[in-house]
Amino acid sequence: MTRAEWLLLPGERGNTATRLDERRTDGMTWSAGNQAQALVHGAAYFAELLAAVRAMRSGDLLLFTDWRGDRDERLGGPGTEVGSVLCQAAGRHVIVKGLLWRSHLDGLRFSEQENRRLGAEIAEAGGECLLDLRVRPGGSHHQKMVVLRHPGRPELDVAYVGGIDLCRNRNDDVTHRGDRQSLPMAAAYGPHPPWHDVQLALRGPVVGDVEAVFRERWEDPSPLSRSPATRLSALLHREDTDVGRLPPQAPDPVPCGTHTVQLLRTYPNRLLSGYPFAPDGERSIARGYLKALGRARALIYVEDQYLWSPRVVACFARALTRHPGLRMIGVVPKVPEQDGRLTLPMNLVGRVRALEELRRAGGDRVAVYWPENHAGTPVYVHAKVCVIDDVWASVGSDNINLRSWTHDSELSCALVDESPDPRPPRDPGGLGDGARVFARELRLELMREHLDAQETEGRQAAARTAAPDALCDPAFAFGAFEEAAAALDAWHASGRRGPRPAGRLRRYTAPEMSAAERAVATPLHHVLVDPDGRPFGMRRRNTF
């Protein structure tokens, strides 16, 4: 296997303006020698982030971007509120710089006030947190990253990239009882919505790549907003709109592991004036998927908040059509986060049509599920994860839809481990690539949770000695999900008589929508829910 068969080569990113691919003397568009750790669930991520930030001292550098930031969200117990932790770091003379999306109105269930409050609190403590509206109309900055650099102590450098915001609802764990600090969602999820999510902790040279992504946005000379009303509001609220200087970027941390990581992004084709680092936008997340799906032969495993848009899932459908042995598993939320009379249909119609296309292509080789906790409450799947043939893994802020692939700003990590996994089947795809430790273990960890077969110390020891694990076999794993969901569905259908079966999976059945409902919901879906940020020619050809 060569990384070039799975990852984007120079020129394949489709954006020559970024300096991200010019950082290395070897000309490679990825970094090798990294150590990546999957932090499954907000509780695991928040605990590690809290310890890492508290260990920072004067002169260290803390950079972050976020879609939503709640200053009172606790990373741990009392006294660990996001705002307090970041302000305490600034008080220790850590250089704190943040970019928060200048959100839509709170009345539309967004976070305008919360993002403004967190930014103001950090500024008062001596840091700098700007509200960024350099997006397409109706778009958002959706990247979720934190970069911690330590001059003189580079062994502590770390970057966190994934789907977890520094805000309410996210602090859940494997039990999925929900975050006690909750935001309202669809009624099905209850007062404390259970939340399933993934973040990566990255160490090694890739930390410099993540920092470079932050710096490109921070150093964009464009005003934070082109809207006169927004600029007036910023003036009235005495917001900081002057971008302060960053210290020079330190050398990348030295190699420390076996993981090759490529950063993939989405930036839209902005009207009137583009980004200096992506004047025609960037769609390398889409391009990364397209390249990896070209090698899919055994199993595509996806966990995704949305999994909608026929124009996006078409590439998955093509893979299923070309390779009759290929299977696909999707884990999605039972219902969208908003369940209003207008918002529910325009959210659902994209998934209904996307799943119809996938099932036309793959038939019973496509299986989609939603998880519940042991109390029977649906778990909201916010993860953005894909594993293909236990070789290529992707974790990021992007969902499988047009908005994430073309319209909003997104950041994702495509990862290929240099360490082969010796457990059978050693080469599930049959192309000579060989299963890889990181991708396989990420898939197994997520699957074990959904099957109520979480790792024990004994299982971890078995993995280290290459003991067989039946879930390594894609066909067995596909059947295990099917069997577990059938048993749990039958238990619910019987009125929950007898012991609850192991597992947390329920079969996802798309709701019926009449032709009239589709006719009304589809244009709203395209305009409001899943807009297209590509240039017109790409839209017409459905290319990325």
Considering the domain boundaries, does residue 247 fall inside one? yes
What integer pLDDT is reported at residue 454 of this predicted model?
74
pLDDT at 24: 87
User: Do 289 and 244 fall within a single domain?
Assistant: no
Residue 286 and residue 253 share a domain? no
Residue 203 lies in a domain: yes
- The CA distances from residue 206 to 30, 103, 223, in Å, are 8, 29, 29
Instruction: Tell me the CA distances in angstroms from 366 to 183, 294, 328, one per residue in order.
Output: 33, 17, 5
Residue 366 lies in a domain: yes
In a domain, 49, yes or no: yes
The answer to whether residue 253 is domain-embedded is yes
Note whether residue 339 is domain-resident.
yes
Domain co-membership, 239 together with 312: no
Residues 346 and 227 occupy one common structural domain: no
- Those residues of the chain that have pLDDT short of 70 are 1, 104-111, 226-238, 240-241, 455-468
Looking at the structure, tell me whether residues 253 and 292 fall in a common domain: no
Count: domains in the chain: 2
Q: What is the reported pLDDT for 461?
A: 44
540's CB contacts (< 8 A; 6+ apart) are none
Measured CA to CA, the distance from residue 369 to residue 505 in angstroms comes to 6
pTM value > 0.85? yes
Residues 155, 196 within the same domain: yes
Q: What is the CATH number of the domain that holds 335?
A: 3.30.870.10
Cβ(150)–Cβ(53) below 8 Å: no
pLDDT at 459: 42
- Alpha carbon distance 54, 75 (integer Å): 12
Same domain, 160 and 223: yes
Tokens of 287: 């391009």
Last residue of a domain, one of 191, 224, 257: 257
The DSSP code sequence of 171-188 is ---TT----SS-----GG
User: How far are the Cα atoms of 38, 130, 263, 412, 433 from residue 284, in angstroms, in the given order?
Assistant: 22, 26, 9, 9, 23
Q: Which two tokens stand for residue 347?
A: 């959210």
- What's the rounded Cα separation, in Å, for the pair 436 and 416? 7
Nearest in space to 421 (alpha carbons), one of 468, 479, 360: 468
- Indicate whether 225 and 286 sit together in one domain: no
Claim to verify: residue 360 and residue 393 sit in the same structural domain: yes
Tokens of 509: 């059945």
**In a shared domain, residues 308 and 242:** no
The CA distance from 108 to 122, in Å, is 25
Tokens of 313: 């899932």
Domain membership flag for residue 69: yes
d(CA 439, CA 154): 27
419-465 pLDDT per residue, tens: 999 999 999 999 999 999 999 999 999 999 999 997 544 444 444 44
How would you write 445-514 as a 3-class SS string? HHHHHHCCCCCCHHHHHHHHCCCCCHHHCHHHHHHHHHHHHHHHHHHHHCCCCCCCCCCCEEECCCCCCC
330 and 241 housed in the same domain:
no
pLDDT tens sequence across 88-105: 999 999 999 999 998 755
Its domain, for residue 112, covers: 36-257
Domain assignment of residue 26, yes or no: no
